[in-house]
């Protein structure tokens, strides 16, 4: 799997492969950004089924989903 952030040692620059942004940083910062990005991706994958379900039934906010489940006696 390719990393989102790439570190260029000669210029002390970090390149964001997703947005094309370049900024100053070091190897440690680049590694931490990649770790945080991987963690965020895991959480997004966990939430995807719920987002798809909400979209399917036209539920646009989590509080609306909570109210519907409460009224159905699911909670």
- Tens digits of residue pLDDT in 44-73: 999 888 889 899 999 999 899 888 888 888
pTM for the structure as a whole: 0.67
Angle between the 62-71 and 27-56 helix axes, to the nearest 10 degrees?
40
Contact 54, 60 (CB under 8 A): yes
Q: What pLDDT shows up at residue 62?
A: 85
Distance between CA atoms of 60 and 73, rounded to whole angstroms?
A: 20
**Token couple for 14:** 């970090």
| Residue ranges per structural domain of the chain | 5-71
Q: What is the pLDDT of residues 1-48, one digit of tens each?
A: 689 999 999 999 999 999 999 999 999 999 999 999 999 999 999 988
pLDDT bracket for residue 75 (50, 70, 90):
low
pLDDT of residue 68: 86
- CA dist 25 and 7 (Å) reads 8
């Amino acid at each position: 799997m390719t990393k989102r952030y790439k570190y260029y040692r000669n210029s002390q620059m970090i390149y964001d492969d997703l947005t094309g942004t370049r900024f100053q940083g070091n190897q440690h910062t680049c590694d931490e950004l990649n770790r945080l990005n991987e963690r965020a991706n895991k959480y997004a994958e966990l939430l995807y089924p719920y987002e798809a379900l909400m979209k399917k039934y036209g539920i646009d906010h989590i509080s609306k989903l909570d109210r519907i489940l409460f009224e159905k006696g699911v909670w």
